[in-house]
Structure 1
Amino acid sequence: MRILAAFVLTILSLGAAAEQFVDAGEYRVHYAAINTTALTPEVARQFGVRRTRNEILLVLNAQQRVDGGYLPVPATATGTATTLLGHVQKLDLRPVREADVHYLVATFQTLDGEFMTIAAQVLPQGANTPLPIKFRQQFYRD
C-alpha cells in the first residue's frame, strides 16, 4: 500500500502545483484525473481499476485545516463526468484508505482527445455543506 500512497501523493502534488484544489472554510479538496494506463499494474490492482486506454481515474482527497496545516479526513461524494455533447456518466465514488490518508476514487470512460467536465459535491467528515468541484480536462489515449 505504500506504493499506492506514494503514487497518489505524486499525482495530487502535481495537481496542487497546477492549483487543482478547492478551499471552503476549514476544508480543502485536492483532485486529479489521469488515464489508467499511467498506473502501474500493482497500483491499478490496489485501486481496483482496469488499465485501459479510454478509462480515466478520478482521485479526490479531502483535508481539514488543523494548526496551520491540513490533515486528511474521510469524505463522501457524488459526481458526474460529462462530454461536450452532453453525455453524462454518473461517478461511483468509493473510499480508499492507506494508513491515515483517505481518498475517494472513481473511473469513467473517454474517447481519444475528448474534453470532459467533471463535477462533484464532496462532503468532508465534520463539514456542514459539500464543497463543489468542477473542472474541464482533455484526455488522450497513450
Structure 2
Amino acid sequence: MLGMLMAADSYAEQKKVFAAPDGTEYEVHYIAFNSTFLQPEVARQYDLTRSKALGVVNVSVLKVNENGVREAVGAIVNMNAKNDIQQVQHLSMQQVIEGKAIYYIAQLQYREGEILTFDISVFPQGVSDPFRLRFSHNFYND
C-alpha cells in the first residue's frame, strides 16, 4: 500500500525493532503524511478523505523468523495523537489486508505547521505485552 500511496522519495517510513519475551523479533513500521498525497483512486479504495486538514497514519507489524524472513502479522494497534497544547485525538485504526501484507491506517485532523506526537501500543498476535513507541510528525499543507 505504501508504494501506491505516494512516491517513494516523498517520505521516509520509520521502524522500531522489538524483542518478544520468547526472543522473537518484531518490526513495527510507521509513517504519517498529508492525505492530499494520496491519489484519488487510492483514497476511495480505502475510504479515506483527501483534505489539507487531514493526515494519514500507517502502521504495519512484521515478525522476523530465525532465518531473517519477515512476515506480516495481525495485531491490535492503539494510537493517540497529541498536539503541543496536550489536546488528544484517539485514532480509530482500520485494518487493511492486501495479499500477504497487513496494514493499520487512520486519519486525523491537524493545523498547518502543527507538530503531533503519536503514542502507539501494538499487541501482535500471540504476544501479551504491548510494544510501545512514540514519534512526532510536523504536518504541512502541500
Q: Which residue is equivalent to 1:7?
A: 4
Deviations 1:3-27 (A, max 9, x none): x46325966xx534xxx11111111
Q: Describe the SS at the equivalent of 2:42.
A: helix
1:21 is aligned to 15
Q: Match of 1:114?
A: 114
Over the matched positions of the two proteins, sequence identity in percent amounts to 31
Residue pair 2:123, 2:131 contacting (<8 A) in 1 also? yes
Distance 1:43 1:31 in 2: 18
Name stretches of at least 5 consecutive residues in structure 2 with no aligned partner.
Answer: 20-24
Residue number in structure 2 paired with 1:137: 137
Q: Distance in 1 between matches of 2:6 and 2:39?
A: 15
How many residues align? The count is 134
Find the aligned partners of 1:10 and 1:126 in 2 and give their Cα distance: 34
Q: Which has the larger radius of gyration?
A: 2
Preserved contact between residue 114 and residue 140 of structure 1 (Cα < 8 Å): yes
Asked whether 1:42 is paired with 2:55, we answer no
- Structure 1 distance, partners of 2:97, 2:57, is 15
Tell me how large the CA RMSD over aligned residues is.
1.7
Q: Secondary structure at the match of 2:36?
A: helix
| Structure 1: gaps (5+ residues) | none
- The 1-side partners of 2:5 and 2:41 are apart by 13
Identify the range of structure 1 (121-130 vs 109-118) with the bigger mean alpha-carbon deviation.
121-130
